[in-house]
């Protein structure tokens, strides 16, 4: 049971991005910034930090494929970006694991790299012609604020979850 807890939690976050968030925080015409939830990204970065790069990339790529299949018609963009971000954010040091501050810094930089990468890819293939300054103000800064707040809420539950998983694995090995 405990083994499936992590995938289940991440999958629920994935579904929430497209359903609850879109219903309760609908986009409005008057609003001139775009709020994009990146809850899955936060989870993937935390998995990378606490479970190592291998499992992090596995989760990143799987969820990226899911994202590509379900929400976009283009394949590959999210698979690649999420896998890549999962890999470079795998700071598995104890100093990072015990410090909320470091984790927040890593999450915020991961959001920056991820948003920039997806924007760049969409720009290259011609799906958007937004300028970088516009992208920075309309998408990146709101995304930082929204997902930073979400990360603050998610950090503690995820640490509890990882501790539980560690205990479970230790029990299994005995």
Partner 1 sequence: MPHFFSNKKLIVFMVSIIVLVALIGFSMRDRDAVTWPEKFVRDTTGIVQSIFSQPAHFVAGFFGDIKDHLHVYEENELLKSRLDEYASLAAELESVKQENETLKDIIEADESLTDYVMRQALVIHRSPDRWTETIGINKGEQDGVEQDMAVVTSEGLIGKIQTTSEFTSTVQLLSDGNRTNRVSAMVNTDDKPVYAFIEGWDEEREGLMLRKIESEAEIEEGQTVMTSGLGGVFPRGLAIGEIVEVEPDEFGLTYNALIEPAADFYNIEQVNVIERSIASLDEDLQLETEENEAGEGTENGGSS
Q: At its nearest, how many Å lie between partner 1 and the CB of residue 106?
A: 11
Buried b (16+ CB within 10 A) or exposed e, 63-82: bbbbbbeeeeeeeebbbbbb
Q: Closer to partner 1 by CB, 115 or 158: give it.
A: 115
Measured between alpha carbons, how far apart are the two ends of the chain, in Å?
18
| Secondary structure of residue 71 in the 3-state scheme | coil
| Secondary structure of residue 142 in the 3-state scheme | helix
Sign of CA dihedral 66, 121, 144, 138: negative
19 forms part of the interface with partner 1 (CB under 8 A): yes
77 forms part of the interface with partner 1 (CB under 8 A): yes
Task: Name the nearest CA neighbour of 33 among 156, 169, 141.
Answer: 141
**Interface with partner 1 (CB under 8 A), residue from 9, 21, 58, 162:** 21
Could you give the CA distance from residue 170 to residue 174 in angstroms, rounded to a whole number? 7
**Interface with partner 1 (CB under 8 A), residue from 55, 87, 136, 165:** 87
92 forms part of the interface with partner 1 (CB under 8 A): yes
Site string for partner 1, 35-74 (x = CB under 8 A): -xx---------------------------xx--xxxxxx
Q: Closer to partner 1 by CB, 104 or 121: give it.
A: 121
Residues that bind partner 1 (CB under 8 A): 11, 15-24, 26-29, 34, 36-37, 65-66, 69-77, 79-80, 83-84, 87-88, 90-92, 118, 121-122, 125, 127-128
């Amino acid at each position: 049971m405990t083994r499936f807890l992590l995938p289940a939690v991440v999958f629920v976050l994935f579904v929430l991005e497209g359903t609850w968030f879109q219903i309760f925080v609908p986009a409005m015409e008057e609003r001139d910034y775009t709020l994009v939830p990146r809850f899955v990204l936060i989870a993937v970065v935390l998995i990378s930090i606490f479970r190592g790069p291998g499992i992090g990339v596995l989760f990143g790529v799987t969820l990226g494929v899911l994202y590509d299949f379900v929400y976009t018609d283009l394949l590959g963009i999210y698979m690649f970006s999420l896998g890549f971000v999962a890999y470079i954010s795998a700071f598995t040091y104890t100093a990072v694991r015990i410090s909320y501050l470091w984790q927040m810094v890593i999450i915020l930089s991961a959001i920056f790299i991820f948003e920039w990468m997806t924007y760049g890819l969409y720009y290259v293939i011609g799906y958007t012609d937004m300028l970088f300054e516009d992208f920075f103000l309309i998408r990146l800064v709101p995304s930082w604020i929204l997902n930073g707040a979400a990360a603050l809420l998610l950090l503690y539950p995820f640490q509890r979850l990882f501790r539980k998983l560690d205990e479970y694995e230790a029990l299994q090995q005995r």
